[in-house]
Structure formats: C-alpha cells, structure tokens
Structure 1
Amino acid sequence: MRDLTLPVHWRVLLLLPALIVFTAFWLIPIGVLVRISAGGNFFDTYSAILTDSRYVNSLWQTVMLSLVVTIATIILSVITGLFLSNNEFPGKRLLVSLLTLPLAFPGVVVGFMVIMLAGRQGLIGAVSQALFGHKLVFAYSMSGLFLGYLYFSIPKIVLSVMAAAQSLDKSLVEAAHSLGAGPWAVMRDVTLPALAPALIAAGAICFATSIGAFGTAFTLATDINVLPMTIYTEFTLNANLVTAAALSVVLGIVTWAILMLARNVAGATMSAGG
C-alpha cells in the first residue's frame, strides 16, 4: 500500500502560514502586553490591582454579569432551539433568519437599540409613563447591558442547539416514550444529556463574548462598571498604560480559564455519555 504521509519539510511548509499568523497576531502582542503590564515590577503591579477594591469589584461584576447572561441565554435558546428543531410550520425559515439577524449587528448598534427600547426616550419608558405615570428607564445600567448581551448571545446558542438537536438519535427518544416516559422525563434523561457537550461549549463561547464585549458597554456606559470599560478608562482618560495592560491580562486569564474548564467538562460529559 502506498504511503501517503507527507515529508517533514512539506508538513512544516504547510504549517508555516498558520505559525506566522499566530506569532504576528497573538504571540507577539500578548508578549508585549505582559511586558508592559509588569511596569518594572511584575509582582507589585498585579498585587496592587488584585488588592484594589475598584478593580476587583469591576472584575467581579463583569464575571457575574457574563455568567447570568450565559445561563439566561442557554435556557431561552434550548426552549427556542428544540421547538424549531422539532416542529415544522409556515414561515419557519423566515423566523430563523430573523432570530439570527443580531449576528450582523456590531455592539454599538446593539447598544443603540437597547437605548431605543429602554432609554429615556425609549418604548418601555413611553409605555410605563402612559400606564403608571413615570418612566421606566434602565438602558444605562447593568440591566440594560444584560439585555444587550442577551440580544446578541441568543442567536449563537439557538443555532448550536438546533444543530445538536438535529443530530440527536431519534430512536433514543422513541424508546423512552415507548417505556412510558413523559415529555419532561425524556427532556431530563435523554435530550439534555445528549445536548450537554454542545451546550457547555456554546455557553463558554457566550461567556467569553460577554466578558470581553466593549461596544455595547461603551454605548450604554453611564453607571456601568465592567472591566472592558475600566480598561478603556485607564488607557484613555487616565493614561495609565501599565494598569490597563495588567487588567487586560487578568481579563484574558479569566476568560481562558473558563474556556479550558468548559472544554474539560464537555469532554468528560461526552465520555460519560458513551
């Protein structure tokens, strides 16, 4: 049988473009960022950041907001994705297209849409003024940012749920029904365990996107204390390049840790499921 394995020099040559891109756009910038963040004394710089309540609170609020957005997105997307996967009806393709439309919008546009919905001149404010005599305005708070993140996160998870649901072995569901399992039991014991690896992976991407999102936060920024905005403030208004770089490194480490944890959990879930 003919050996189709490429020679070593050809494998290196084919890998070279990826290595160049990786070095130019990731390795070198990260190295420079870490060097700047040291500020002459690596330990003192990061100790000062991690003991400063303002920075710690900003990191904590960012992580908690991203977790809440991820959980809410997964719940809503599982319900929507399973319904769309298991049902055919007129206009389904149009509905799926509309659900995925937010993927085309940058963060600034999403923030502007939140303002139009829940800002001082927004629809919710006008309705609450007519019904209760006062305007309900929350676009410029963490609630508004939550709404914006939820808006652009749902389409990604819905598409992942639909793809995973379509590859689900239907015979398992039919076997569960034949054994007398009700819809909720099938959902709990068959559907969700089968979807778990895809949900964990999609949830990790949702978390990583939310924790680092800047455009929406920048558009809504009034009473919002999230780490991307803190980094922007330190870099532009305070001209504190060392602190901005160190906070960026911390944000990257937290995001990387969550992604690695999700990958390990998804792998273990897939192995446990057979």
Structure 2
Amino acid sequence: MQRETRRLILLLLPAGIFFSAFFLIPMAELFLIGGSGKEHGWAAYAAIITNANYFNSLLATLAVAVLTTIVTLAISGISGVFLQRHKFPGNAALVAMLTFPLAFPGVVIGFMVIMLAGRQGLIGTVSEALTGDRIVFAYSLAGLFMGYVYFSIPRTILTVMAAAEKLDPKLEEAARSLGASPLRVVLDVIIPGLKPAFISAGAICFATAVGAFGTAFTLAARINVLPMVIYTEFTLSANIAMAAALSFVLGAVTWIVLALARTAAGGTVAAAG
C-alpha cells in the first residue's frame, strides 16, 4: 500500500511542480501585487466595480465574449454537422479553409478586419457605391466582435465535427419513425448529443475572447475592453498594482467559466473521444 502511494506521489510530482510554477505561484504573486498599490491598496479589487471606467470595460469584455460564443456555436454547430455528414468533392478543402485562421495571430486578424470594414475596406467601398454612405465599423466593438468570431470558428468547428461523428444515426431514425419533425429531431436528438462538445468548445471560445489582446490592439487603442485597459494602466499610467488587480480578476473570471463548463460537460467530452 505504501509502495503504491509513493509511486502515485512520484507520478503526480512533475504535474504538481509544473502547476505550482506556472499557475499557483504567478497567480499568488499577481494577487499580492494587485493589493500593494499606494493609491488604492487592497481596495483596487473593489475599484473594478466602483470605478465606472473599469466596470464598463469589464461589462463590455463579458458582453463581447458572450455574444462571440453564441454566434460562433451557432455557425460552427450548423456547419460542423453538415460537413461531417455530407461528403462532397472539395469537402476536405473547405474544412481546411475554415480552419486556416488557426495559423493567424490576433494582429493578423485585426488587419483583416480593417481590410474588410476599415476606412478603405471592402464593405465601405461597396456600401458607398450602393448607398453613397461609407460603412466603417472596424475600429469599434463591432469590428472586434467580427475578429473574435473569425478566429473562434476554426477551434469550435473541429470540436463539433469530432462530436458529430460519434452521434448514433439510429437515434435520429427512431425519432423520425415516431413522427418527429426535422426541427424536433434537431432539438431533441442532435443538440443534446452535441451538448458536451458545445459546452467545452463554448467555454474555450469565451475564455479566448475575454483575454484576446492582439486583435483589439490592432484595431484601436480606444476599444474599451479589459485587456486594453490593463495595457493602458501598465504602460501609459505605470499603475502596475491596478493592472495586476485587473489581470487577476480577468484570470479568475476565465477560470471560473472553464471550471463550470468542465463540470457541466461531465468528466469526459464527447468531442475528445
């Protein structure tokens, strides 16, 4: 018994050292720095709620992340199931194109949004030719939302396709034989079957959108999301304590969402096989 316990400890020791070195210790240090400021002290964590600028940036960050997650899951869910079940010439090429943005960093995504919806972008050119007014939204939360959806779809669609491959088509056939309409089959069979994949992929999508910095920085420094506020506090205001407090809260929110998603999805994720 003691030998098995020692063996288990030895096996878990590397993981424990890695987890402590790259998560527990940095987060503890970040938490202490956040409360060490001369201006606010430990009240810096309360300032995230009491200060209108910080609080509005937190709300904007969460709102964009939630909307990005919903839209991404809707697009990836429909596309992933369709591409998994319908094999046609060019299917593999289409999947490769949809997942190609995985290779792009946030800065490149930001430039692509500018090329599409910027002052000289395609959308503005077309809208000016049709209506006389140039539509420009790349440098706002709408442009940031477009960029987040663009780089979130590849991660989500692969998860959905892997989960859709494991769905039992006999369940759908049974539902149809009992008189279920196509909509009821989707709502009562397909979506519940894909639920673990949706939860896990949605959590990753949300966490990525909450913490993404490169795209927001490329589009505009005035976009009021929390990563940009942290950058401003650290570089322009030299308010390291507040930047640390904001970073800790951002990391804590992300961790809570991922933990809840892991619990809701169960011990195993269907998409992971």
- Which sections of structure 1, spanning at least 5 residues, go unmatched? none
Q: CA deviation at 1:144?
A: 0.3
Q: Which residue does the alignment assign to 1:16?
A: 13
Superposition deviation, residue 196 in structure 1: 1.0
Q: Give the root-mean-square deviation of aligned CA atoms.
A: 2.1
Pairwise mapping of residues 1-274 of structure 1 onto structure 2 (< 5 A)? Answer: 7-39=4-36, 43-267=42-266
Residue 141 of structure 1 contacts residue 222 of structure 1 at CA under 8 Å; is this kept in 2?
no
| Runs (4+) off by over 6 Å | none
Cα distance 1:59–1:10, how it changes in 2: closer, same or farther (>3 A)?
Answer: same
Percent sequence identity is 59
Instruction: Give the distance between the partners of 2:83 and 2:41, measured in 1 at CA.
Output: 52
User: Contact between 2:47 and 2:54, CA under 8 Å: does it hold in 1?
Assistant: no
Q: In structure 2, what is the Cα distance between the partners aligned to 1:211 and 1:19?
A: 27
Q: Does the Cα contact within 8 Å between 1:38 and 1:45 map onto a contact in 2? A: yes
CA distance in 2, matches of 1:209, 1:177: 38
TM-score by length of 2: 0.92
CA distance in 2, matches of 1:6, 1:261: 35
> When the two structures are aligned, how many residues end up with a matched partner?
267
Q: 1:160 to 1:212 in 2, by over 3 A?
A: same
CA distance in 1, matches of 2:261, 2:11: 30
1:198-256: per-residue Cα shift (whole Å, max 9, x none)? 10111011000000000101101244100000000000000000000000111112112
Cα deviation per residue 1:176-210 (whole Å; 9 max; x = unaligned)? 11112121111011111111111011101100000
Deviations 1:52-79 (A, max 9, x none): 0100000000001100000000111111
Shift of the alpha carbon at 1:42? Answer: 5.5
User: Whole-Å Cα distance in 2 between the matches of residues 127 and 223 of structure 1?
Assistant: 26
Unaligned runs of 5+ in 2: none
TM norm structure 1: 0.92
